[in-house]
């Protein structure tokens, strides 16, 4: 069944090439996201391999940009998503007015910055507009919103890997990053007992009207193009078995064991974010930290805490993973993202490649920027000037020491350095995009055509509103 769908998704965007907005959106949603979900499914990975999905839910997960929420990220909720949609539409209309005015052509950097905000708004609307439906249709499963405040990223690695377009980040993680890191295309199969437990958990969620899966934790390193990941490992929801065989959820951000448990959990999570504990290890530092924290509070009686996926037990063998392999996986994720961006541009350029390959070059450049920025940060900034999470990771790895009075606290110096890092990250992303990313849009006049289509859509909406208003006035006059 997957092959016909793969072929259909690959050519769907070619049927509406006269409209750059529609062709680009369809190409992105199906030729990229849909096909990569099918590829991940063929390897027993990704959202389509989520246990307990009915046929209708599986189809929704395939056709719409749904992905189980990552651990440590805010969940998509209907109320919050609707509020964000209103804000994005308002910002999009303001950007349209600016970019079509003479002020939008004063400076190429200013115009390209407007384009960047426009792409942010468009991606948020495209990926998040169906989120309220998904939360209800998928047994109230926690879904991953596309954006997580990318404007406050302290590094290019954090920008791509954690904050910008996390839907693409997640799918590249399953189809590119993890297969390279694990050294196998097909994920390790789950025991039948585990699958049965996951299906039973799904049935309980359906009857309770909630989801207790907890989602998946992000690969914190940069992911390609709107996504992929590097330099880290993905973690699943944790669960601990007590002496009474009761399951207790163990959260990596705030353990129920109290303040001491929280501190251990933060350090373990930060170490995981730095890729210090291998790949999918059931005895990882993160799991060990959670286990020790729960043990200190009496939550565990010497039992090991296995990692659970999607509400069921999941224990994986430890996979040795070198930093070189993680770097290769990160670069491959960016390269695949660059290729798929070229494909999406081709849909908007009338079914032909733009030809300069500047888009591909932009994403191939990102790993170099990440490595350079990370090296400079490690060389120039002592742990007490990093964010508390980064400081915890540095201390856990033994690469630095910090004053006990300032450890884990947001001091004035730390806040100032963080602001400077945010500004530097924004400059790196904007400057590299100004040099490489926006050229293909202007070569094919995608920017001009897209703005005209948005203006035409606004006029159509105004016409519909006027027609409805006239109908209501006529109906009221006839009463």
**144-155 pLDDT per residue, tens:** 888 888 999 999
With 0-12 CB in 10 A as exposed, 13-18 as middle and 19+ as buried, what is 471?
Answer: exposed
pLDDT of 237 reads 37
Contacts of 406 (CB under 8 A, 6+ apart): 384, 414
Instruction: Tell me the C-alpha distance between 381 and 251, whole Å.
Output: 30
Asked whether residue 316 carries a pLDDT value surpassing 50, the answer given is: no
Q: Is 23 inside a domain boundary? A: yes
* SS3 at position 248: strand
Instruction: Tell me the C-alpha distance between 464 and 469, whole Å.
Output: 8
Q: Is 378 inside a domain boundary? A: yes
Instruction: Tell me the C-alpha distance between 290 and 240, whole Å.
Output: 9
How large is the average pLDDT for residues 450-467?
91
Instruction: Tell me the C-alpha distance between 51 and 204, whole Å.
Output: 13
Token pair 């062709």: residue: 23
Asked whether residue 344 carries a pLDDT value surpassing 50, the answer given is: yes
Task: With beta carbons less than 8 A apart as the criterion, state whether 224 and 236 touch.
Answer: no
> Mean pLDDT in the chain?
74
Token pair 């730390």: residue: 414
More confident residue, 213 or 32: 32
Angle between helix 388-397 and helix 259-273 axes, rounded to 10 deg? 80
How large is the average pLDDT for residues 193-217?
51
Angle between helix 78-99 and helix 446-477 axes, rounded to 10 deg? 110
Read off the pLDDT band of 406 (50, 70, 90).
Answer: low
Integer Rg of the chain from CA: 24
Q: Is 57 inside a domain boundary? A: yes
How large is the average pLDDT for residues 342-355?
89
Within a 10 A sphere around the Cβ of 194, how many other Cβ atoms?
Answer: 19
Structural element, H or E, at residue 123: helix 108-128
- Identify the CA nearest to 183 among candidates 352, 43, 7: 43
Task: With beta carbons less than 8 A apart as the criterion, state whether 260 and 289 touch.
Answer: no
pLDDT of 211 reads 42
pLDDT of 310 reads 37
Contacts of 59 (CB under 8 A, 6+ apart): none
Structural element, H or E, at residue 249: strand 247-250
Q: Is 290 inside a domain boundary? A: no
Q: Is 64 inside a domain boundary? A: yes
Task: With beta carbons less than 8 A apart as the criterion, state whether 96 and 451 touch.
Answer: yes
Domain assignment of residue 227, given as a range: 1-233+325-384
Number of domains making up the chain: 1
Token pair 């033994």: residue: 398
Q: Is 174 inside a domain boundary? A: yes
Write down the pTM of the prediction.
0.73
Instruction: Tell me the C-alpha distance between 136 and 66, whole Å.
Output: 12
First to last CA, the chain: 57
Instruction: Tell me the C-alpha distance between 426 and 109, whole Å.
Output: 13
Q: Is 465 inside a domain boundary? A: no
Instruction: Tell me the C-alpha distance between 264 and 276, whole Å.
Output: 15
Task: With beta carbons less than 8 A apart as the criterion, state whether 273 and 232 touch.
Answer: yes
56-95: pLDDT as tens digits: 888 888 988 888 876 665 666 656 667 777 888 899 999 9
What sign does the dihedral 16-22-28-30 (CA atoms) show? negative
- Identify the CA nearest to 229 among candidates 179, 169, 175: 169
pLDDT of 196 reads 59
242-269: pLDDT as tens digits: 333 333 333 333 333 333 333 334 333 4
Asked whether residue 359 carries a pLDDT value surpassing 90, the answer given is: yes
Q: What is the DSSP letter of 177?
A: I
How large is the average pLDDT for residues 285-289?
38
230-246: pLDDT as tens digits: 433 333 333 333 333 33
pLDDT of 191 reads 61
Q: Of the ranges 22-31, 87-96, 262-271, 348-357, which one carries the lowest mean pLDDT score?
A: 262-271
Structural element, H or E, at residue 325: helix 323-348
């Amino acid at each position: 069944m997957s092959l016909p769908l793969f072929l259909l998704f690959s050519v769907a965007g070619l049927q509406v090439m006269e409209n750059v907005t529609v062709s680009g959106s369809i190409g992105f949603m199906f030729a990229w996201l849909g096909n990569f979900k099918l590829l991940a499914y063929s390897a027993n990975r990704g959202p389509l391999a989520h246990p307990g999905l009915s046929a209708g839910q599986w189809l929704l997960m395939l056709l719409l940009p749904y992905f189980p929420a990552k651990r440590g990220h805010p969940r998509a909720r209907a109320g919050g998503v609707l509020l964000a949609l209103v804000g994005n539409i308002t910002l999009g209309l303001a950007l349209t007015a600016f970019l079509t005015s003479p002020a939008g052509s004063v400076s190429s950097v200013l115009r390209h910055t407007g384009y960047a905000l426009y792409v942010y708004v468009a991606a948020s609307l495209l990926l998040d507009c169906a989120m309220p439906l998904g939360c209800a249709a998928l047994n109230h499963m926690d879904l991953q919103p596309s954006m997580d405040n990318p404007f406050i990223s302290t590094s290019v690695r954090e920008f791509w890997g954690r904050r910008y377009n996390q839907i693409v980040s997640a799918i590249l993680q399953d189809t590119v990053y993890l297969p390279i890191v694990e050294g196998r295309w097909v994920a390790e199969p789950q025991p039948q007992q585990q699958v049965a437990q996951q299906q039973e958990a799904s049935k309980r969620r359906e009857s309770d009207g909630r989801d207790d899966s907890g989602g998946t934790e992000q690969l914190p390193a940069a992911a390609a193009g709107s996504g992929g990941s590097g330099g880290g490992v993905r973690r699943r929801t944790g669960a601990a078995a007590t002496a009474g065989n009761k399951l207790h959820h163990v959260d990596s951000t705030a353990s129920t064991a109290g303040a001491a448990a929280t501190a251990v959990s933060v350090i373990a999570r930060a170490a995981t974010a730095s890729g210090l504990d291998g790949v999918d290890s059931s005895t990882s530092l993160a799991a060990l930290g959670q286990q020790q924290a729960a043990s200190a509070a009496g939550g565990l009686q010497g039992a090991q805490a296995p990692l659970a996926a999607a509400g069921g037990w999941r224990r994986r063998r430890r996979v040795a993973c070198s930093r070189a392999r993680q770097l290769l996986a990160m670069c491959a994720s960016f390269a695949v993202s660059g290729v798929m961006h070229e494909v999406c541009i081709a849909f908007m350029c009338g079914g032909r490649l733009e030809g300069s390959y500047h888009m591909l070059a932009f994403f191939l450049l990102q790993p170099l920027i990440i490595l350079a920025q990370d090296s400079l940060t490690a060389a120039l900034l002592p742990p007490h000037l990093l964010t508390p999470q980064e400081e915890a990771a540095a201390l856990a790895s033994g690469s630095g020491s910090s004053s006990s009075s300032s450890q884990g606290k947001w001091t004035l110096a730390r806040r100032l350095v963080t602001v400077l890092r945010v500004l530097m990250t924004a400059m790196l992303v904007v400057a590299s995009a100004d040099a490489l990313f926006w050229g293909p849009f202007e070569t094919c006049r995608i920017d001009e055509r897209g703005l005209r289509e948005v203006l035409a859509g606004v006029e159509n909406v105004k016409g519909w509103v006027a027609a409805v208003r006239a109908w209501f006035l006529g109906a009221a006059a006839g009463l």
